[in-house]
């Protein structure tokens, strides 16, 4: 079958990373086709839910900090270009046992990179934010520059700006397969066949299905996000309540949440959003159980009872979102081994990738056009799992 379009670059998956890749590639004058199986921003992958935390004192690994510095600058550039706000500075309160990996990691990254971080005792913290209750042995840290990014709005802005720069973006068109043919790439979708010289794969939870050699390395998990009605909404408004992350002594991972967002400005759903960051049940992205049970809500209720007592009124909305976890929970951003000349990939964002979308888009355009980037991504190499 003949291809019905030829492009410089095809991007598979126009979600968080793919929309930014389309933007940077088209901004550099390349003829780009972005293919997205659903709408541009949707509820079935990893980016739904109104808000994503952005922070710089990165407990996961200090090597992310230079990427975050660039990510902050790139989000600002998007705001500048579009006149729309996507980054909301709320500050971020971290709480946990001083030996907790989160507290230790935050302190380590902040010290290494001179990131503003206030240390509070539990009395000062609850004086400032009386909504919380913390055990006396907890250490409390506050990162003033942290906040959240609006994911759906950012994706739509990147896609729209990319189109203005000449990119062609097809929504509701699913890539079935791709292959290398000489020095070209052939991409077959449920509607058509296209050809390009370069390919970028940013397929999120579907990365294992689209990238040879990764199917057993990306574990997709079903993650719950909850919006609750509180008994005192006025205490949780945007200018009164920060983003937060709590490392519990008994539960793995961490709990986190956001201020209450006005639906007139931020869209649905209404309510105070919180969740538990820890890979939950393994799932197939094409066959996700999106029904929410009392069992699913148990951990969230534990968090509310323990750290925000007396606040819970009722659950307003609960949604399932997907993590695409790499074996070490660090990202995979690289040229695809075996296809280095033509294919770049970004995947395995393991539940903490959105804040980086603005820099990952630029890195993917570097890898695609130059074959390399001066951004420090060696620790995210695809070959580290060989």
Ligand X SMILES: Cc1cc2nc3c(=O)[nH]c(=O)nc-3n(C[C@H](O)[C@H](O)[C@H](O)COP(=O)(O)OP(=O)(O)OC[C@H]3O[C@@H](n4cnc5c(N)ncnc54)[C@H](O)[C@@H]3O)c2cc1C
Q: Binding residues for ligand X, per CB under 6 A?
A: 12-13, 15-18, 35-38, 45-47, 49, 52-53, 174-175, 202-204, 206, 210, 223, 225, 275, 321-323, 347, 349, 351-355
Backbone phi, psi, residue 91, to 5°: 75, 160
Taking each continuous run of H as one helix and of E as one strand, the counts in the chain are: 9, 20
> How many CA atoms within 13 Å lie on the side-chain side of 50?
25
The nearest distance, CB 9 to ligand X, in angstroms, is: 15
The nearest distance, CB 28 to ligand X, in angstroms, is: 20
Q: Kindly tell me which of 30 and 352 has the beta carbon lying closer to ligand X.
A: 352
Under DSSP, the state recorded for 270 is P
Residues constituting the chain? 386
Backbone phi, psi, residue 25, to 5°: -70, -45
3-class secondary-structure state, position 34: strand
> Where does residue 234 rank: exposed (0-12), middle (13-18), buried (19+ CB within 10 A)?
exposed
Q: Kindly tell me which of 126 and 385 has the beta carbon lying closer to ligand X.
A: 385
Place of tokens 């609006």: 150
Residue 123 in tokens: 């009395």
Q: Kindly tell me which of 27 and 285 has the beta carbon lying closer to ligand X.
A: 285
| Backbone φ/ψ region at 146: left (φ over 0), alpha (ψ -120 to 50), beta | beta
Task: Tell me the residue nearest to ligand X as measured from the CB.
Answer: 15
The nearest distance, CB 260 to ligand X, in angstroms, is: 16
- What is the CA 235 to chain-centroid distance, rounded? 27
How far is the C-alpha of 103 from the C-alpha of 119, rounded, in Å?
A: 11
Q: Kindly tell me which of 127 and 298 has the beta carbon lying closer to ligand X.
A: 298
Residue 185 in tokens: 């790439």
The nearest distance, CB 91 to ligand X, in angstroms, is: 15
Under DSSP, the state recorded for 126 is H
Place of tokens 């907890």: 138
Q: Kindly tell me which of 77 and 123 has the beta carbon lying closer to ligand X.
A: 77
The nearest distance, CB 322 to ligand X, in angstroms, is: 6
Are 223 and 354 in contact, with CB atoms under 8 Å apart?
A: no
The nearest distance, CB 150 to ligand X, in angstroms, is: 11
Q: Kindly tell me which of 191 and 231 has the beta carbon lying closer to ligand X.
A: 191
Pairing of strands 343-347, 193-201: parallel
How far is the C-alpha of 326 from the C-alpha of 385, rounded, in Å?
A: 10
The nearest distance, CB 204 to ligand X, in angstroms, is: 3
Q: Kindly tell me which of 38 and 126 has the beta carbon lying closer to ligand X.
A: 38
Q: Kindly tell me which of 126 and 328 has the beta carbon lying closer to ligand X.
A: 328
The nearest distance, CB 16 to ligand X, in angstroms, is: 3
């Amino acid at each position: 079958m003949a291809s019905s379009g030829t492009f410089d670059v095809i991007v598979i998956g126009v979600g968080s990373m793919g929309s930014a890749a389309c933007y940077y590639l088209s901004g550099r004058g390349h003829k780009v086709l972005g293919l997205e199986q659903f709408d541009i921003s949707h509820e079935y992958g990893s980016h739904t839910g109104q808000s994503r935390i952005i922070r710089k004192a990165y407990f996961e690994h200090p090597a992310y900090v230079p990427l975050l510095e660039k990510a902050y600058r790139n989000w600002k550039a998007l705001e500048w270009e579009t006149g729309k706000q996507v980054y909301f500075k709320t500050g971020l309160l971290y709480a946990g046992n001083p030996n907790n990996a989160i507290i230790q990691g935050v302190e380590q990254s902040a010290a290494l990179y001179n990131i503003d971080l206030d240390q509070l005792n539990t009395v000062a913290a609850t004086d400032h934010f009386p909504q919380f209750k913390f055990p006396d042995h907890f250490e409390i840290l506050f990162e003033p520059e942290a906040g959240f990014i609006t994911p759906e709005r950012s994706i739509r802005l990147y896609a729209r700006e990319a189109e203005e720069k000449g990119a062609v973006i097809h929504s509701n068109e699913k890539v079935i397969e791709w292959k290398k043919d000489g020095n070209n790439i052939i991409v077959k979708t449920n509607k058509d066949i296209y050809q390009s010289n370069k390919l970028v794969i940013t397929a999120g939870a579907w990365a294992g299905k689209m990238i040879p050699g990764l199917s057993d390395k990306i574990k997709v998990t079903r993650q719950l996000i909850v919006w609750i009605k509180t008994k005192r909404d006025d205490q949780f408004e945007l200018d009164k309540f920060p983003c937060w992350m709590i490392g519990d002594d008994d539960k793995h991972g961490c709990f986190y949440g956001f201020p209450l967002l006005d639906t007139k400005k931020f869209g649905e759903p209404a309510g105070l959003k919180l969740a538990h960051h820890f890979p939950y049940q393994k799932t197939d992205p094409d066959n996700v159980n999106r029904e929410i049970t009392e069992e699913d809500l148990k951990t969230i209720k534990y968090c509310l009872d323990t750290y925000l007592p007396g606040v819970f009124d009722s659950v307003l909305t609960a949604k399932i979102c997907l993590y695409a976890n790499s074996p070490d929970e660090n990202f995979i951003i690289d040229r695809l081994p075996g296809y280095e000349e033509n294919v770049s990939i970004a995947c395995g964002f393991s539940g903490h990738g959105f804040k980086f979308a603005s820099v990952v888009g630029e890195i993917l355009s570097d890898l695609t056009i130059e074959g390399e980037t001066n951004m420090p991504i060696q620790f995210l190499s695809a070959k580290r799992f060989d």
